Amino acid sequence: MLKKFIGYYRPHVGLFAADMVCALLIAAVDLLFPMVSRYAMQELLPHNSYLTFFAVMGALVAAYLLRAGFQYFVGYYGHLLGVRMEADMRGELFAHLQTLPFKFYDKNRTGHLMSRVVNDLFEVVELAHHGPEDVFISLVTLLGAFVILLTIEWKLALMIFALVPVVILFTIYRRKQMNAASRKVKERTAGINADIESSISGVRVAKAFGNESYEMEKFNEGNDRYRVAKKGFYRQMGIFQAGMDFFTSLMNVAVIAFGGLMIMLEGLSTIDLLTFSLYVGTFLQPIRRLSNFVEQYTVGMAGFVRFQELLAVKSDITDAPGAQALRNVRGDVRMEHVTFSYDEGVSVLRDVSLHVRAGQTAALVGPSGGGKSTLCHLIPRFYEADSGDILIDGQNIRTLTLASLRANVGIVQQDVWLFAGTVMENIRYGRITATDDEVVEAAKKAEIHEDILTMPNGYQTYVGERGIMLSGGQKQRISIARLFLKNPPILILDEATSALDTVTEARIQSAFDKLSAGRTTLVIAHRLSTIRGADEILYIDGQGIRESGTHDELMAKNGLYAQLYRVQFGGEK
Ligand code: ADP
């Protein structure tokens, strides 16, 4: 894992090296100051060498100016390094998410995935740019201070450094407590976010049922839990800060106490004592940094592991080696003994075979949940059949490239998905490169042009999240317009189940008819009136295809289809 993590530094190795050099120089200046002060007090002051003394002080100011420059570099470019790595990782993750199949999204919640792409990576990147810097600066300063102090007075140095592990252990322990408390706060925050998201997107339902106070109660519970968690966190923070301050003071007292003892017993000079005291100030900061690193490492690595886990999820629907592009499609669609289930043991399609000749229209009818949509989703390989073959113009779809397969199959789903944006952008989604004129042309064919002209900003009207500002019929026709732009030879039309008024229904039907002219079409029909002219009608239920034939044939047969038809239309034929 660590090796993989380090791999992300590779493209930015120059910046990283510069960052480390600056970190080293910062540590060097920190180590220099007490030494120089000692030199000044020991060598220059007793001889009244004013000039040299002030020259040295001037040099110190210059050193601190340089240090400020290095600090700026580390603060700015160090973070920049982090941001670049974050962008790399997020880009990689997003690209990966695009390759994952329907099945993956059936099982994973959107909010959860979002938090992985956004929050987890944030912590990974904090580690990525603070981690090496913190460890480097701290170790150099601590070791440097130790070595210097050893040369001045080794006994005193050992005494003081005996305290360092105690301080480190204390900070690590308290940090852990603080970290646990902060994790709780994060969880509760996520809970609140989820509550707010769900309540706000469901606000129309809440109002319709007059359940505002129920929503409020639900929210208050989460809000209280958050408050309690935050209280716990601040308690831990209070203990940590008080403890750190205590140890700072303790170190200072220890230096004077042990140092005083050495002065009395061994004749240590007061200047050396002062130098020791200055070094204590220098290495408390690295201790804080080190303990900070320990925490960051745990959290960041956990985030990195989750990131890698997500990257490791491989799509089982990919181009086979040597896959061919589907070209010059006539549109002959054949299914041979196809069996499929979403979850093992619960079969949805069993041994289904069908043949739709190029340019013909086949209608799928049957009870809801019978597997009509599922069957259609197998053709563009949204899901993979467990066994059996699907052939287009005689070519097995498993031997074709996914991109070319999907480019040749167009689908109008019941739930039309519109992206937050304008009507123009949403239609153009059918073919991103289409010109404005082509979009308008497609809208005309889909019988939505006039509706769009009556919208406040015409084609530039914002449709709202998921197209909330449009009617169901309008959304359907927008998705038909998309397909006029895409112009695929094979069509799958999932009729809207929701009741549409007769005018809208007629317009959608006329748009559907125009669209399917000259294309192989599979219609999932809910209103049987619309499919009387279909070349073939297939009756599907949980057991597979039960009947097939034209409307007249099936009526004459007086089986399942005829029964369904009579339920919809009473006795008439
Ligand atoms: P129809 O289109 O005929 O109404 P579907 O193909 O939508 O039927 O559904 C067939 C069966 O598969 C139903 O029992 C349904 O609950 C189940 N199903 C549909 N989609 C999924 C899915 N993504 N994951 C698991 N089961 C599903």
250-307 per-position pLDDT tens digit: 888 988 898 898 889 888 888 888 888 888 888 778 888 887 787 788 788 888 888 8
Atom of ligand 1 nearest to the CA of 366: 3
Q: What mean pLDDT comes out for the span 505-522? A: 86
CA of 348 to the centre of ligand 1 (A): 7
Atom of ligand 1 nearest to the CA of 377: 6
CA of 352 to the centre of ligand 1 (A): 16
Cα–Cα distance for residue pair 150/360, rounded to 1 Å: 92
CA of 558 to the centre of ligand 1 (A): 27
Helical axes 502-516 vs 472-486, angle rounded to 10°: 10
Span 343-374, pLDDT tens digits: 888 888 989 999 999 999 999 998 888 899 99
Cα–Cα distance for residue pair 78/133, rounded to 1 Å: 8
DSSP state of 462: B
The DSSP line for 197-253 is HHHHHTHHHHHHTT-HHHHHHHHHHHHHHHHHHHHHHHHHHHHHHHHHHHHHHHHHH
For ligand 1, atom 16, the nearest C-alpha belongs to 369
pLDDT at site 482: 94
CA of 107 to the centre of ligand 1 (A): 14
Count Cβ atoms within 10 A of the Cβ of residue 408 and give its class: 0-12 exposed, 13-18 middle, 19 or more buried. Answer: buried
pLDDT at site 361: 92
Residue among 109, 342, 346 to mutate when testing ligand 1 (max atoms within 8 A of CB): 342
Q: What mean pLDDT comes out for the span 445-463? A: 92
CA of 341 to the centre of ligand 1 (A): 9
Span 91-112, pLDDT tens digits: 999 999 999 999 998 887 776 7
Cα–Cα distance for residue pair 168/180, rounded to 1 Å: 18
Is 530's pLDDT higher than 80? Answer: no
Which residue from 487, 473, 474, 478 is spatially nearest to 515, judged by alpha carbons?
Answer: 487
For ligand 1, atom 10, the nearest C-alpha belongs to 371
Q: Which band of pLDDT confidence, cut at 50, 70 and 90, is reported for residue 378?
A: very high
CA of 349 to the centre of ligand 1 (A): 10
Residue among 343, 346, 348 to mutate when testing ligand 1 (max atoms within 8 A of CB): 348
pLDDT at site 496: 66
Q: What mean pLDDT comes out for the span 205-231? A: 90
Atom of ligand 1 nearest to the CA of 376: 6
Find all residues with CB under 8 Å of 285, minimum gap 6, and list them. 141
Least confident of 25-29, 63-67, 245-249, 282-286: 282-286
Residue among 106, 368, 373, 538 to mutate when testing ligand 1 (max atoms within 8 A of CB): 373
Atom of ligand 1 nearest to the CA of 102: 23
For ligand 1, atom 17, the nearest C-alpha belongs to 369
Q: What mean pLDDT comes out for the span 390-414? A: 93
- Residue 150 tokens read as 């050893």
pLDDT at site 189: 79
For ligand 1, atom 24, the nearest C-alpha belongs to 342
DSSP state of 72: H
> Which residue is associated with the tokens 């004013």?
50
Percentage of the chain exceeding pLDDT 70? 98
For ligand 1, atom 13, the nearest C-alpha belongs to 369
pLDDT at site 497: 58
Quote the Cα angle for 521-527-531, to 5°.
40
CA of 484 to the centre of ligand 1 (A): 28
pLDDT at site 498: 59
172, 288 in Cβ contact below 8 A? no
CA of 374 to the centre of ligand 1 (A): 6
pLDDT at site 486: 93
Is 440's pLDDT higher than 90? Answer: yes
For ligand 1, atom 15, the nearest C-alpha belongs to 369
Cα–Cα distance for residue pair 466/288, rounded to 1 Å: 49
Q: Which band of pLDDT confidence, cut at 50, 70 and 90, is reported for residue 571?
A: low
Least confident of 203-207, 405-409, 465-469: 465-469
CA of 196 to the centre of ligand 1 (A): 30
Quote the Cα angle for 384-411-106, to 5°.
45
Span 110-146, pLDDT tens digits: 767 777 788 778 888 888 888 888 888 889 998 998 8
Atom of ligand 1 nearest to the CA of 494: 2
Residue among 343, 374, 495 to mutate when testing ligand 1 (max atoms within 8 A of CB): 374
pLDDT at site 164: 84
CA of 399 to the centre of ligand 1 (A): 26
CA of 526 to the centre of ligand 1 (A): 16
CA of 372 to the centre of ligand 1 (A): 8
* Residues with C-beta less than 6 Å from any ligand 1 atom: 106, 342, 348, 368-374
Span 427-439, pLDDT tens digits: 999 999 999 999 9
Mean pLDDT of the chain: 88
Phi, psi of 363 (to 5 degrees): -110, 135
Span 222-243, pLDDT tens digits: 899 989 989 998 999 899 889 8
CA of 371 to the centre of ligand 1 (A): 6
For ligand 1, atom 25, the nearest C-alpha belongs to 342
- Residue 316 tokens read as 């089982």
DSSP state of 44: I
CA of 390 to the centre of ligand 1 (A): 19
For ligand 1, atom 19, the nearest C-alpha belongs to 374
For ligand 1, atom 6, the nearest C-alpha belongs to 371
- Residue 82 tokens read as 């982090």
